[in-house]
Structure 1
Amino acid sequence: MEMMKVEIISKEIIKPSSPTPHELRNLKGSFLDQLAPTTYIPIILFYQPKSGHDFDQAKNRLKKSLQQTLNRFYPLAGSVKEDHFIDCNDKGVEFYEARSACNLSQVLQHFNLEILNQFLPFEPLGTHEVLLAVKYNVFECGGVAIGVCFSHRIADGASATTFLGAWSATSRGESDEDHVCPKFDVATYFPPKDLPWGMGDIKVTKEKIVTRRLVFDKSSIAALKEKASSTRVEAVSALIWKRLIAINKSKPAPAIVHVAVHAVNLRPRMVPPLPTHSFGNLWYFAMAVLSPLDHQLDHDDDRTLSIKLSHVIKEIDGDYVKKLQSDEFPDTLMKAVEVCSMGDEELYKFTSWCRFPLYEVDFGWGEPTWACCPSMPFKNLVVLTSTRDGHGIEATVNILEEDAVVFDRDEELLPFVSWKIAE
């Protein structure tokens, strides 16, 4: 697909329709917010053309409902302070309107990161003052794409999805009684700490990163689960980890230690569990380490890697979370710093959005035909999302350009991939 042009028609600031009360103006950041990367979470929702769709009316409805939703999600309209506080000053969020010089079908037929990123308000790695930005894209065919960027300083993927669900419900005209009332009390569970090192800034490699999209259907996932004796997310993660390790080991100077870092949602693991609409960064990482001390992997290495992942993920239970809430620094955090300072390790980062209801985000013109998190150019970052039918998994894999040559023809990976596009 040739490069297409997305023209920005307008840009404005949307503020809450009612001022935030004075007693809610100063929101303390949590320990988990301190660990979050200083990037934006990108999400794009694509919608098929709808007969009789009035784009100006839809735009105005989006803006009005956004104003109303920001009354409840007021920190998103604020500003981050240096001391990990959010000034809930109603400064507002950015809202862009854009026109795309192509049909939606042309975009859906290809997975082209450069094109997808044009539907976002801005580059997720950039530095911006706002905590939330929205881009309303209209295609020539009448299709629509809603691109959003959430600051990771204040929200995780679950929080972003909660906001989209609440905003779309307001746009559909649901009553106040049906609205989600988010909780902004993460700091009461995870008070901020004086960190002895800088956290949150992700190192961006100077090497060329490319993105691959892999789709695993229901039958492929069933085969992987049986082979690995694990959950579907762990099975897919283990397979991708295994193949990326194989690529690294084929190099002249391979890493000695291979570390899989998997993000874990803490809400259901706390005692008692926190509501799904608890807003903020409520995730921590599980870290599986494959070192020379491990036995040489053989034909059963799929199961070995999945067991390693499953073990460290299950370790993050109610007792583990209590340790995170204490004044002490978690052992895993100290271990991560130690491992990452060795200089002979390779990191593989995984995050799963498979249970997030992105395909339920209906602004009044139907559910999305495709929801994606166009991944960011970080080496060995893998983002897992559910397919529209809920049975499959899409994996967005970011790897070095030189590694993609091997990855694209991997005979142990391709049999499990039902549909793959690489551009």
Structure 2
Amino acid sequence: MTLTLQLPLASGELGDYTLRGTTPVKPAAGIQFNRIAYSAAHVVANPLAAADPWLDCAVDWDATIAYRRHLWSLGLGVAEAMDTAQRGMGLDWPTSLELIRRSLDAARDFSSKGGSALVASGCGTDHLTLDQVRSVDEVIKGYEEQMAAIEKLGGKLIVMASRALARVARSPADYERVYDRILSQARQPVVLHWLGDMFDPALKGYWGSNDVEAAMDTALGIINAHPDKVDGIKISLLDKDKEIAMRRRLPDGVRMYTGDDFNYAELIAGDGFGSNPLHGKSDALLGIFDAIAPAASAALGELAQGNVDSFHAILGPTVPLSRHIFAAPTRFYKTGVVFMAWLNGHQSHFTMVGGQQSTRSLQHFAELFRLADAANLLEQPELATRRMKTLLALHGVE
């Protein structure tokens, strides 16, 4: 069946677009990976809640947890309550903790039925009122409060970059002090989180320097001081060379989790550098894996079987889509992720916590639709076409 609709062009005019008609990507059953792969998962808003969407946080818990089960069924882990879940952009700490609790409960249930449900949960300082934070000690206390709450639930920590720390730190020594305290107390190895300022302008100068190499030296010094407490580090700098440079310097047993939504395919495939297998490849903790989950699963399965060409053939076409979703202003990428979930029938509406569905233009969504089709990621093409037409109609395109 041929599907055609009119989509906005860069010129501002409308043009016919006919879907390619190719079979959507679908991984094989029982797929196994040789990389650890976390998808940072989105939350599904509750559009029927009597709440002000710019001020209140209303979540559809059933749909949100159902999507996590979907990710686990594809072999992917869930990085919970991260920036993809709109942490700091609509998702507050009390709701984040409830999300973590529900996700951990669902993971235990999924695993009890013979599945594998990997979860790691974001631990930060976002419950602090940013302009009232005055000292590093307050940042430490903030981290400790969230750390205790998550560990009480049995959760593994992702120690998120802290806006509060970036605000009050005066030198790399302040970062060393905070992370030394947190890592010394951690019950199990954590994943550290380095989010570039393209994702969050408030994190500019993280690790105590605007110079990336100097910042990297500080982060590596912290890791080397606590190698038994660090499972890995996720860096989201959108610079593959910097990620590779840091990866090669990590201590034995510490993983690099790529957060590079521009270059993930080649970073995951790896370059085979050195005798330490972890120095020559990246594992993954990616927001884009939420939007491209079937392709990510299928590609990782091929890679595990040594089929590198098939890995790139599946994952390569998703990279232009990812670069579009994460285009500047990069912090609005969550909108594209949720849009994909709506197109593919994983939620019944296109509304977001904080009203964030308004952060991208109709032209952006039209190009996203074309790129998703080109990457064979429209799981139900007829449904996706109907929903795209609904969005067009809301913008006056009948």
Give TM-score scaled by structure 2 length.
0.26
Report 1 or 2 for greater relative contact order, CA contacts < 8 Å, sequence distance ≥ 6. Answer: 1
- Bigger helix fraction: 2
- Bigger strand fraction: 1
Give TM-score scaled by structure 1 length.
0.25
